[in-house]
Structure 1
């Protein structure tokens, strides 16, 4: 039976059942009415018999009193005789009223006459008794007239009683018949009601069972959907992360090539590779951002920031691109707009970068204007309106409603001509909604587009300058005095590397050795950003960031630094409360960009051209000095210092690893192997040593094998001794 037709069958069955129910109810009610009517008739007949009996009794009493008075000459017997005669007349009148019909009319006429005659005769006897004496009265009694009247009355009453008895018998039979029919119809009605209830119960239970099955199927579908969504998000995050790693290498080597002397054709090719690589990296970033938003991993992290500093960064970032297309880029901010605000500066920067990038991309000539105005303020609350207006190609009115949909651009040709994923505006809208803001768009095809973003902020407080803790190195005066970084790192070589980078960027920082010292530093001083290693003694990075978020209720941006390359490590860091993740060996451009984005207080820098490095002499070496030389920018003293630390620290780490293997301590083996990855990463030993260290890092109590660990250590030791010798040769 088709599901669409079942409702008609059910409707027909319901109507048939209702008609049958009405018929049964009608017949049952009719028989009940007959039963009630028969009972009333029976009651009436019984009342008639009772009245006839009363009349006979009254007549007999009257005769008895009259005879007794005459025979005994005692007039006390006739006391109340008039009342008795009145009662007889009343009984007779009642009989006439309830019995009178066509069949009894003649009998009632005779009865009325005879009763009147009888009463009159009794009164005549009494009158004769009073006037002529006892003998005359007895003579009247004995002449049989009174007896004949009594017999005639008794005969008529008997006939009436017989007639009424016949009627009683008929009524009784009618009552019995009606009662049986009523009982039968009632039984049928009960059976029908039971059957209907049973069918309804079976139908309802079947529907409930079906509904429960559908609910279970829906729950299972939702679970599968959630699992698939989680798998999709994990896949997107992993793929984006895995693709970004080689892309960073491609862009890095492309940057190095651009710094080399090239002919025009080669430079054209290198520039094409660089442009395509940047475009691909932007697409990957969009995919990663949308997956983070949809999986709930995108967090709003509020800090105090300078709004005019953010706008200055936007101007610096896009000025060259606008001039390249001969466009005017204008940024104006209303005087009433406060400068120091409290909110998520990174998300604001991301929104403005996306909208400004789109405006420049889709504008061939004219200008791009960014306006910031205040729409509302009360106490420390303020709402700002950011307007990004261009004179570009515009958007058709029919496309405005769907412009924020994912993978959507105004026309198919837009993607082919300008590129992109169609995710940019989707990300912008969701980031704005995460901050309880609104976005709208106005556009005229051929004349331009205006995006308006309204966001709420709190008035920020200017952070006090702290001069107690300064960089330990003798650096020039920092050019960004409002930026303070906290570095939590236990590896000495990594500490020195970060000191070198942060000092070269003229940033203020403080270095601590573990998570516990990081918490103590955060309680004493205001920092803009924390660079947090994951594995540290006393308190690791995960425990520290959990304390920062849950106990200290701080939203300070935290960037995880780890040598872990295992799948899901980035997502784990984000779930634990980190804002971002950077793997070791640290890429200086990536780190600089992260610091810039999460602090929002300084603009992009001009990267100096990389120094040309002489090629190796052809011998097979383990050490690769390229990474360290890129970081040093030709600072030989820094390179030598790092190598000397490498020569000193690597034997110490090897001794700790050997001791952990000797005492069969998997926990210490994992921690030492992880620390070794950081130690060797700066000298280009990842290719040779990471496979061995990762096997040791995955050791646990269940799969630990002492012989295997010893073999891995022996191989690792031989390679490290060779690397140390090469480092000694370089430093001599």
Structure 2
């Protein structure tokens, strides 16, 4: 039987319900709000029971009654509520309803009517259920009443979530601002509101939280008044308030009394749609300020020390330059006079004495150069040049320089360059050759028998950068493992005792290591005592855009298919020569003993035979004689000698050979010799009393007018005699003033100008000559003992045309004379 509510004004009850809920205007827990809603709604609707069922998760729903506490919660399965899932509006049921789960009905003690209100927000879903034990009439007025209450309940639920969010933000905001170490102040632009955190409250000695703006302003002004940089603060403050964006940072307030205290002040405008203000932060940077001041002091000290170091380096460089000049000037006399003396008629004992002086002078000059190089590297003044050069010339020129030393010890100099190494590269040829010369020179020094093998291979390639690996392997005394750490240290040697067998400054490897480092490589050593040592180093270098690989463009047609017989007691050299021949399309048979090679001719035709001179059992001449006696002149014979070594007593046997070739043989020359099969005149040893003139010297077919400006009498004699050796006369003066006087009397084609002279030096004299004579001036060749790059640059900046370093290299001296003679006579 439906319960009748015929006399109830449902609209009035709805207004009363809404009014009662509307008085809540602050944060309240959502559950409490819902319980109050349920209490008011039960009273207004006359329901026998009201409860809220809220989804907790996929497996749990919680039942909340109007007067239940948190600990009294009942939990049910969410499946019970599936009948309500598709609804967003109130639903009205006359029970029983077959779709309801029995468990749901048990919650209400077998009701007769039920109304469901879905209370849903973004982060939760719940259902408020009103139950009547007696059936009621869901009239139109009643339905409107329920809908009005439902709307208000959802509104209060949403407000509850909003209040909760605001409270949550407030708690987080306060937690953050109260725990940061900075003092933080917010001032509303209206002037009605300001807020400070606890750190700011301590700083300004006021209460935290909301503060009267006037009180906060007075506290800030009082703090500024105590600062020691009040004027700077005032100026920066005026800039702040006059600027458009009202923004400032790194504004320092410095306090010195009673103790140093520094604040870093930042001010940032805060803007929203309805609120604007200024956010101030005050950060204690006292320690950072002290650190910065200390750092400034250190920088001042460092700058002063750097200036002193630069001055010391400058003084050191000037001292070394002066020392170099002072040493090289008498060294020029020793070496120059020795060279001139060798060109005179000497008996064997005299010639031996002169050679001893020359060798000693060259050794002393080498030591001087090493010390100067090391000084330039240590002072950071060594710069690498970049010029194209052929990589094989590094080894070949090194061997040309050191071949005589190797021959004196009976050592074979060998080298191999792998085909994938670029033929032409771009870099500093002089410094790279210096490294190789140092390593090969050391190998010769510490090797008494056997061979020195230099090899170059491609280690890696990235884009256009080639990483080349050089190795110099010897069969010498080796290096103990516990001594290897000394190798690349300055002025350090493996054997530093006073009784050591091998001399030297100990700078060679240190210089090489620094040069390798500047070429972006590394250097290391592998060694075994009494077996030998291998020094290896890498460099990074670019290939020239010309020839890319160290190999011929095509196999020479004159060599393809030809067969060579090679006899040499050095197996490494045999393999190198065999590799060259096979690379050019030839076939090469190799033999370590002359008898085996002679016997092989019985069974095989050979187009050419290459025979080493110095071999056990049978030497090269004896092998050649047996071949000719047994087989006749059926093929050309080539003799490998060492530095032009050919026994004088066997000169009559030279006609046995088509060519006599020095070891180590250059690959390009070896190929040309094989192709041309031409004889080369043997390089003969200088006999005592035989005048020695550089190979590239040509006697001028026309004489030049030469003026020599040199204040050192010994050096005057050297230059005069050197010019006389090529049929050239000269006049001599002692300083720059005399040069100018001489040029007024007559014309000279060349002026050999010493740089350091009394009264007027060579640089001043050169500038005067250029100023007075212009294009009609003579060629000016500097003569200087200054070995630094800056010395060379100074000469060219002054206008000199060429440059010769003392002590003179006479071959270089003569080449320069011939070069400028050709220019002048054009």
Q: Give TM-score scaled by structure 1 length.
A: 0.39
Q: Give TM-score scaled by structure 2 length.
A: 0.35
Q: Which has the larger radius of gyration?
A: 1
The higher relative CO (CA closer than 8 Å, separation ≥ 6) is in 1
More helix by share: 1
